[in-house]
Every structure is written in C-alpha cells, then in structure tokens.
C-alpha cells in the first residue's frame, strides 16, 4: 500500500491563515499589531533563505517585521546588545536569532539573553523547563509543527508507541516532551541506541530528526505507522546535471511509503510548518504579553 502524503505546505498555509485572522482581531479589538524581530549573523546561504521567508511571511499575515543583519565577524557583545534593546522594545513581541551562529559566538549565551516571554523559538531554558513540567511556555517551532500535523492526521495520540530518532535540544527533546504530554509511550533513540531498526519497527509514530540522509530505511517502518521526517539534507544529484543537488529527508522515502500509513515528504513536509509555527508563537506571545484571552 502507498502511504497518505501529509502535505505540510498546505497545512502551513492553513496555520498562517488562522494567524492572519488573529492578527486582524488583535488590531481591530485591541489596537495591537504583533511585531517579530529576526536577527541573522553571517552569510550562510540556507539561513539567508529561511530568514527572507520569515520576513516575507511575517508581513503577509499582517504583523510588523524587524530585520537585523550582521556580518560573520561581528562581536558577540554587539548581538547581545541588540537582543537587550529588542527585549525592551514594546513594539517587539517576538525575537529570534537565526541558527547556526558563527563559531566564535556562544549560542547558549545569546539564546538565554532573549526574554523568555519573547522567545518565539522556544529555545530559552525557561521555555524548555516549562515544556518539561507541563507549564505554559513557548514551544519550539519544528516540534510544534510536527505535533500539529500528527494531531491533524491521527486525532487522539494517547497510548500510541512513538519513537523520536535524535536528541537535540531544539527538535528531539521537545518533540519527545510533546508526545509524552499527549500520552504516547515515547522512546528517544540516538547514535548509541542498540538495534535501531528493531526500535523503529515497534513504533506507531516515527519522528526522524537525526540530520543524516535516508538513514532510516523503509523496511524498518511498521505497517501503517505515521512517519514525520524532520531531516532536510542536500545531496549530490548528478542525474540532474553536473554540480546539481536534491533534498532528501532522514527517512528513505520511497520504501518507507510502502509500509507507512502516512508520511511527510521532503521538501514540503515539516519545513514549511516551522515558519508557520513561528508566526503562531508570535501571536501567542502577543496575547500573553497583553494579558488577552483568545
Ligand atoms: N532560530 C532558528 N534557527 C533555525 C531553525 C529555527 O526554528 N529557529 N530551524 C532551522 C531552519 N529553518 C528555520 O529557521 C527552516 C528550515 C527549513 C524550512 C523549509 O521550509 N524547508 C523547505 C525546503 C527549503 C529548501 O529548499 O532548502 C521544506 O522542507 O520544504 C523552513 C525553515 C535551522 N535554524
């Protein structure tokens, strides 16, 4: 059987449309226009594309966008100074610093400098702590996007066996927390996991976030499982011409589609949901900062 393809692009458009309605209502009923500040350091081409899309989509949903670009050799202190300024700017409800940062910068110090209430990436330790303890923080955008797609496709997740492959602070760990909160039985797998194929084969839900092209093989996937592929890996595609590349996920898509009940494609799956959830978090942050109930 061929799997249902979960269309992240279409789902992200519907999330953005809901965000645009909330923005309209904040403007009309409360005279508030949510503001999102995006800070980028360096010239990483992929990051530049993501930031351009964030800025464009911010204005498309009717929010104010503030965009700050710094060259790669900028001192950390200068970025910290900007973050402090943005923390104190009432027109700014959400702040994000695009990752990765250049090597000479302390990523943790910069993330922790963002006010937790404005940390729309959900990376601040206060927000990860709130997520871990069932509190009301801001949830990292990629895991939030995966969770919304799973809920939309499966409805109730309780009692399902889920595996998250990857244990990063920004995807793997928060993803596992969200699944646990939804009463899944959760396994977190990583590079030292013994017999990964056997672990994956037991899961009703597979979230792949390892950053290794097609590492998870299709024949590991349990019949009818739901597969969420977070990986975005650029690999050489000589069949498309010299020097050409193509994007693949962390899952071997064609073979996994034969076993899975549903699967997200790469591109067009989790990626678009990341930016849609950033906008959603900015609206959430705006409501909370102004003590407005939706
Ligand atoms: N501060 C942050 N930095 C980074 C985050 C983040 O959430 N916050 N996530 C990633 C990059 N990212 C957003 O910033 C992001 C990655 C991918 C996509 C996306 O839509 N991908 C497309 C494919 C795009 C392509 O052709 O390369 C897809 O999957 O369809 C959006 C956002 C790291 N940094």
What are 205-219's pLDDT values in tens digits?
Answer: 999 999 999 999 999
Ligand 1 near 211 CB (within 6 A): no
* Residues 98 and 50 sit within 8 Å (Cβ to Cβ): yes
Domain ranges of the chain: 31-116, 141-270
Ligand 1 near 99 CB (within 6 A): yes
| C-alpha 293 – ligand 1 centre gap (Å) | 30
Q: How far apart are CA 50 and CA 224, in angstroms?
A: 33
| C-alpha 230 – ligand 1 centre gap (Å) | 10
Closest CA to 205 of 185, 190, 230: 185
| C-alpha 50 – ligand 1 centre gap (Å) | 6
- In degrees and rounded to multiples of 5, residue 39 shows phi and psi of -115, 130
pLDDT per residue over 107-142, tens digit each?
999 999 999 999 999 999 999 999 999 999 999 999
Could you tell me if the ipTM is greater than 0.95?
yes
User: Annotation-wise, does 155 bind a ligand?
Assistant: no
Q: Is the predicted pLDDT of residue 1 greater than 70, yes or no?
A: no
SS (H, E, C) 121-168: CCCCHHHHHHHHCCCCCCCCHHHHHHHHHHHHHHCCCCCCEEEEECCC
Ligand 1 near 96 CB (within 6 A): yes
Closest atom, ligand 1, to C-alpha of 98: 1
Question: Rounded mean pLDDT of 99-106?
Answer: 98
CATH classification code of 31-116: 3.40.50.10860
Confidence (pLDDT) at 294: 83
pLDDT per residue over 170-200, tens digit each?
999 999 999 999 999 999 999 999 999 999 9
- In degrees and rounded to multiples of 5, residue 69 shows phi and psi of -115, 135
Ligand 1 near 80 CB (within 6 A): no
Q: Partners of 169 in the beta sheet?
A: none
- Cis amide prior to 100 (ω within 30 degrees): yes
Q: May I ask the CATH class of domain 141-270?
A: alpha beta
Q: Partners of 96 in the beta sheet?
A: 38
User: Annotation-wise, does 240 bind a ligand?
Assistant: no
Question: Rounded mean pLDDT of 244-258?
Answer: 97
Question: Rounded mean pLDDT of 25-34?
Answer: 98
Q: How far apart are CA 88 and CA 167, in angstroms?
A: 33
Q: Using CA positions, which residue lies closest to atom 2 of ligand 1?
A: 98
Ligand 1 near 94 CB (within 6 A): no
Q: Is the predicted pLDDT of residue 235 greater than 80, yes or no?
A: yes
Fold: same for 31-116 and 141-270: yes
The rounded percent of the chain whose pLDDT value lies above 70 is 100
Best residue among 96, 274, 276, 281 to mutate for probing ligand 1's pocket (most ligand atoms within 8 Å of CB) is 274
User: Annotation-wise, does 2 bind a ligand?
Assistant: no
User: Annotation-wise, does 166 bind a ligand?
Assistant: yes
Closest atom, ligand 1, to C-alpha of 140: 7
């Amino acid at each position: 059987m061929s799997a249902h393809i979960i269309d992240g692009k279409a789902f992200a458009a519907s999330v953005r449309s809901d965000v645009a309605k909330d923005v309209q209502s904040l403007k009309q009923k409360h005279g508030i226009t949510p503001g999102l500040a995006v800070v980028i350091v360096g010239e990483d081409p992929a990051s530049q594309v993501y930031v351009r899309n964030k800025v464009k989509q911010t204005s498309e949903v009717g929010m104010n966008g503030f965009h700050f670009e710094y060259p790669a050799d900028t001192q950390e202190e200068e970025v910290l100074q900007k973050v402090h300024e943005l923390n104190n700017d009432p027109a700014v409800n959400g702040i994000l610093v695009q990752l990765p940062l250049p090597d000479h910068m302390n990523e943790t110090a910069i993330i922790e400098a963002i006010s937790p209430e404005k940390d729309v990436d959900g990376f601040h330790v206060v927000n990860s702590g709130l997520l871990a303890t069932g509190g009301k923080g801001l949830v990292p955008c990629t895991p939030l996007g995966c969770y919304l797609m799973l809920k939309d496709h499966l409805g109730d997740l309780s009692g399902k066996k889920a595996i998250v492959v990857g244990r990063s602070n920004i995807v793997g760990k928060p993803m596992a927390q969200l699944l646990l909160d939804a009463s899944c039985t959760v396994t977190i797998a990583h590079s030292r996991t013994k017999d990964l194929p056997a672990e994956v084969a037991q899961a009703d839900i597979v979230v792949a976030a390892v950053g290794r092209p097609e590492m998870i093989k299709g024949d590991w996937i349990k019949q009818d499982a739901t597969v969420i592929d977070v990986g975005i890996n650029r690999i050489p595609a000589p069949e498309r011409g010299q020097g050409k590349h193509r994007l693949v996920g962390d899952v071997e898509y064609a073979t996994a589609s034969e076993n899975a009940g549903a699967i997200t494609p790469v591109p067009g799956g989790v990626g678009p949901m990341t930016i849609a959830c950033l906008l959603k978090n900015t609206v959430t942050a705006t409501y909370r900062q102004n003590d407005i109930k939706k």
